[in-house]
Structure formats: structure tokens, C-alpha cells
Structure 1
Amino acid sequence: MAPRTTKPKKNPTALDEPAVCKPCGGTGNVPTTVRVGRKRRPVGQQDGLCLNCLGSGTDPDA
């Protein structure tokens, strides 16, 4: 039986760029619904800071 040859595995994501944050998609901003009135009806959205990456856009767990 021939000996097995193994090739070194490359991890292209670790070499190229840091991982992108999933909730904000790398932008650092997430949409937040604005509610007004006594019944708290939604009227629109505004940008808010992503609490997962704190606005950096990179995945903190990577």
C-alpha cells in the first residue's frame, strides 16, 4: 500500500480579510424602527450602531 500524502490546507478567509459581521453586513449600521404615538405605531426607520461589532463591521468572534 502506498503511503498517503497530505497537502497543507489553506484557510483563505483568515489570510485575506477579517470576517464580516453578520447582523450589519459589514457596514456598522443596522436599521432601527421608529415608533410614535400612544399606540406606538411604526413610522419609519433610522440607522443605529450595530451592537455586535460596535460599528467596526468586522466579526468579533472570528
Structure 2
Amino acid sequence: MATTKRTTKPKPSPADEPVPCTPCGGTGNVSTTVRVGRKRRPVGQQDGLCLNCFGSGTDPDA
């Protein structure tokens, strides 16, 4: 019987993994406080697209 050659895939190093974006924490969304009224009182928060990574969640500078 002939011997078979077995190869294994190399394990990905930590440098190969994408680095999460700092402002959004890797989610792609950031929250902004919504203010209303004459005295500009805060009433809640609204989700929006992260302008650092444009919603991808990965750090563009890494």
C-alpha cells in the first residue's frame, strides 16, 4: 500500500485577523444624542453609520 502525503493548512496568525474599529467597537454603528427644545435637552440616542470605517467595522488604518 502506498503512503499518502498529508498536508495541514497553516493556522492564521493574529496579524491576519481584522482589527476592530475604535469609535464603533467593530459594530459599524455609533450612537448620537438627540436634543430637542429651546434649551436643547437630551431625549435619547440615535444610531448612525460610523464615519471612521464607513460601517465595515474594521480599522482602516491597520
| Pairwise CA distance, 1:48 | 1.0
For 1:18, the aligned partner's letter is P
Between the aligned residues of both structures, percent identity stands at 84
Q: How many residues align?
A: 50
Structure 2 residue aligned with 1:44: 44
Displacement of 1:33 in angstroms is 0.3
TM-score (norm 2): 0.74
- Matches of 1:39 and 1:58, distance apart in 2: 37
1:22 equivalent in alignment to 2:22: yes
Note the C-alpha offset of 1:14. 1.7
Shift >6 Å, 4+ stretches: none
TM-score (norm 1): 0.74
Structure 1 residue 57, shift from structure 2 partner: 0.1
Q: Which runs of 5+ in 2 are unaligned?
A: 1-12
Partner of 1:4: none
Give the superposed CA RMSD.
0.9
| C-alpha separation in 2, matches of 1:55 and 1:39 | 32
| Per-residue deviation, residues 11-57 of structure 1 (Å, max 9, x unmatched) | x3322x21100110100001100000011110000101111101100
